[in-house]
Chain A
Amino acid sequence: MMAEASLSTDQVSDRLRAVLAAAGASGTWDWDIVGDTLHFDERFADLYGLDVEAGTAGVPTETFFTAIHPEDRARMKIAVAGILGGAELFSKEFRVQAPDGSVLWMHGRGQGHSDGSDRPVRFTGLLVDVTERKRTEERLRIAQSAGGVGTFEYSDGFATASVSTEFCRLLGLHPARTLPVRTINGVVQEGGSLIPEAEQASDLLHGEFCIVRNDDGVQRWIARRGEIVRDSETSSYRFIGVIYDVTAAKEAEERLRELNETLEARVEEEIAERQQAEDSLRQAQKMEAVGHLTGGIAHDFNNLLTIIIGNIDTVIRRLDSSSDPRAKRSLDNALKGAERAAALTQRLLAFSRRQPLDPKQVDVGRLLAGMSDLLTRSITETIAIQVHSAADLWSIEVDPHQLENAILNLAVNARDAIGGSGELTINAENVAIAAGDGSPSFLHPGDYVRISVADTGEGMAPETVAKVFDPFFTTKEVGKGTGLGLSMVYGFAKQSGGHIRIESELGVGTTVSLYLPRAGSGLDELIEEPGIAVELGKCNETILVVEDDDDVRDYTVEILRELGYRVVEAHDGQTALRLFERADQPVQLLLTDVVMPVMSGSELAERARALQPSLKVLFTSGYTRDAIMRDGRLEPGLDLLSKPFTYTSLAAKVRDLLDRS
């Protein structure tokens, strides 16, 4: 009986061992707290390098810690102390050093047993070798953190999902093994639910989500990849997948897309700019060509007009009271007509930028204030005129008369555009154009004073605007305008180193802006023009007149003699120089045409002044060329009388020059 019973017990324990081995168990223990004895099985004995018999007989409980890795020993002593103190559950992972020196990871699961009065009496447990799992976990952990990949697993219908540490880190959540689905989906801003809904149609979990990280509030892009697995037992679904941060890729993609988009816009802009530049160039070339033509015509015309006016002038002065008054009236009419023709050629020259300018430092504010009378007289009362000048306007260096002319011209144009009642605003302000800052490209960088004349008139269509500066182009009724007003203003602005710009919209109005460059440091005083009065010459004042056109020369000489000067004449430069060399009386003033064959007026003036440095020079010209002009200005010490000139203007200019010290 006994033997049979003993055999039976062995059989039972053998079977038990086999079951435990199949379950992966590496040993079991039974810690008798009251008796302070440790019992263990065969596998535990193998693991600890102990006798199997000792396990049955019992060893001191301290033996439990002998095979535990020194680094884990303290931790395990504390854990066991908890059980000995009355804790129920024991679940620890720790390393055991086997007798062969190998280190194995063990998972110890145990249970504290208490008696009826809650006193701990026994501590039983089971060791499971988890070395392989530990290694796999380690590999997975490293793969996740190194790759920045977080994993999740979610069973359909549950409120929580199992997640990895890296998963939590990616979403900025506190690391946990399980998280409520609502918490996870709560970080998603765009893209749907990170933990998918059951209705997910596809078997794949591909998706991208814009999230706001919970810890630092930073917006990131997260990609999700994974699969839906059908649980064969419960026929419910499990969603298993990974997430990773794709913000950098998203941003790069975005930048590329933006670049592509702006590329198109940049090309368009570039083309538009080029188109504009080409248009400007074409316009400039056209104006240049027209300018040459009109300039040439005006020059010859002026010579003719000088003769006509001069001779009519002479005849009128020779008429006495006995003459036929009708003849006098006819001559006056002829003179008026000729003077009007002269005014016309003057405007043509202004447009062709060949009008001689007399630039001075101009205070635009003062100039505008001085024009108010003129403006109110020229503009009808139904139009409200407003003139604003910025307080600290820079001064500019332009011909003040021409500037007044230009402003008046623009104001009159504005008046005609308004027709009935409206507003006309003249505004002067400083404008600094920096290089390449998107400012108007028609201007060179620098400081300008902008004078704009704006009206609330009918405005113009773009086709009209394109032509407004063309000479003889006019929108006014036949006979109302010459079509030269804006052309003159254009020529003036260009010749003064500035620019003119017109903006117009049909039914809204037109604004014409003059950009005139800020004056340099030169501080010429603002000189008021002296009034013109006929002043006679003295016989000791000798004037040398050089002019290749015989009629013009005759007329000029005649006037000067009439004024009481001593006059010598020459028809070209060489003759004039010879006269200088043998002059019995010194010549005070050289009056010479600018454009002459062989030797130009300026060359003559230069050589004559070399002979006689104190010599004063007065040029006469229908127009002036670079020969005597620098940037449209006269060289110092020289003066110019525009053709056609009259008796009075010649007399005044000659006297003025001779009296200059």
Chain B
Amino acid sequence: MSGGETITLTELESDALTEIVNIGVSRAASNLRKMIGDQVLLSVPSIEVVSQRRAARLISEREINELVAVRQDFEGPFSGRALLIFPEENSLELVRAVTGGELSPQEVLDIEDEALAETGNVILNSCLATMANMLQRSLTMTIPEVLRGDGNKLFEILEGGEADGLVLFLYIDFAVRKRDIRGYIAMLMDLPSLQTLKELLGEFIERVVGNDG
């Protein structure tokens, strides 16, 4: 941890962020629906701000097998990296769902990374764009990239040997009808970015709740 410094969201801030992400994933689901042509259900996300180390642990506790992640960096009033993470065994299933199940297994393998990057882009973009929109700020995003490894590896790569940063950790159940697909969204931000996010959440709450806050 960077000097043990951390940031905690109040219950309301956490609720607000959850709702904003909820809107984001709803958009993402709607977009996915259009891609897959089948029903996509999403659970209400749960949110935690944890250290990178803890995030890696959280992932490896839940997922013992190898993981695949789609990564996109974002920049704006708050900057960081967004990761869409799911178990590797889900990834081909997701590709098949996205490609409509008309491809041969070999073809699925061939376009796996491309399809994953595209799917990740849809989901992460929906989330981040919604966040920017709801918080009345704008963010720019890089091109998605596919990573593989266990939880530790995914978060260590991003750590880059620097002090342990903070991770906004979201758990969302994606359920594509008749397919077992689940995933997580993680957003890595440094302390100043999280501080900014916290302030923007405060403004949002003020707008929504008014006197009742």
Interface residues of A (CB under 8 A from B): 65, 70, 73-75, 77-79, 81-82, 85-89, 91, 112, 114, 118, 173-174, 176, 179-180, 182-183, 186, 214
Contacts of A73 in B (CB 8 A): 209, 212
Inter-chain contact B64/A180, CB cutoff 8 Å: yes
Chain B residue, CB-CB nearest to A89? B44
Say yes or no: A179-B61 contact (C-beta < 8 A), given A82-B19, A87-B19.
yes
A82 touching B22 in the complex, CB below 8 Å, given contacts A88-B29, A173-B61, A179-B62 = yes
Which residues of B come within 8 Å of A, CB atoms?
A: 11-12, 15-16, 18-20, 22-23, 26-27, 29-30, 42-44, 54, 57-58, 61-64, 130, 134, 205, 208-210, 212-213
Tell whether, in the assembled complex, residue A86 and residue B212 are in contact, meaning their CB atoms are under 8 Å apart: no
Please, which residues of chain B bring their CB within 8 A of the CB of A91? 44
Q: Judging by beta carbons under 8 Å apart, are B212 and A70 in contact?
A: yes
Given A82-B20, A89-B22, CB of A118 within 8 Å of CB of B64 = no
A294-B64 Cα distance, complex, nearest whole Å: 89
In the complex formed, the residue of B with least CB distance to A72 is: B212
Query: Once bound together, how far apart are the Cα atoms of A539 and B77, in whole Å?
Result: 130
With a cutoff of 8 Å between Cβ atoms, the chain B residues found around residue A79 in the complex are 15, 19
A-B contact pairs, 12 of them (CB 8 A): A75-B11, A75-B12, A85-B134, A87-B26, A89-B42, A112-B26, A114-B30, A118-B30, A174-B54, A180-B63, A186-B64, A214-B61
> Is the CB–CB distance between B27 and A182 below 8 Å?
no
Number of A-B residue pairs having CB atoms within 8 Å of each other in the complex: 80
CB A173 to nearest CB in B, in angstroms, measures: 6
> Which residues of chain A have C-beta atoms less than 8 A from B61's C-beta?
173-174, 176, 179-180, 183, 214
With a 10 A CB-CB cut-off, give which of B58, B134, B208 has the most chain A CB atoms.
B208
User: Do A75 and B15 touch across chains, with their CB atoms under 8 A apart?
Assistant: yes
Shortest distance from the beta carbon of B89 to any chain A beta carbon, whole Å: 11
Q: How far is the CA of A91 from the CA of B18 in the complex (A)?
A: 12
Distance (whole angstroms) from the CB of B55 to the closest CB of chain A: 10
Of A74, A85, A179, which one neighbours B12 at CB under 8 angstroms? A74
Q: Say yes or no: A87 contacts B212, CB within 8 Å.
A: no
**A81-B208 contact, Cβ under 8 Å, with A74-B213, A87-B19, A88-B29:** yes
Q: Which of A75, A89, A174 contacts B57 (CB 8 A)?
A: A174
Most chain B CB atoms below 10 A, which of A82, A86, A186: A82
Q: How far is the CB of A158 from chain B (nearest CB, A)?
A: 11
Smallest Cβ distance from A475 to chain B, in angstroms?
75
Name the B residues within 8 Å of A114 (CB-CB). 30
Instruction: Using A87-B22, A174-B57, A183-B64 as known contacts, say yes or no to A78 and B44 having CB atoms under 8 A apart.
Output: no
A residues within 8 A CB of B58?
174
B20 with A89: CB separation less than 8 A: no
Q: Please list the 9 inter-chain residue pairs (A to B) with the smallest Cβ-Cβ separation, ordered nearest first.
A: A82-B19, A88-B26, A87-B22, A87-B23, A81-B208, A85-B23, A74-B209, A73-B212, A86-B23
Which residues on B sit within 8 Å (CB–CB) of A75?
Answer: 11-12, 15
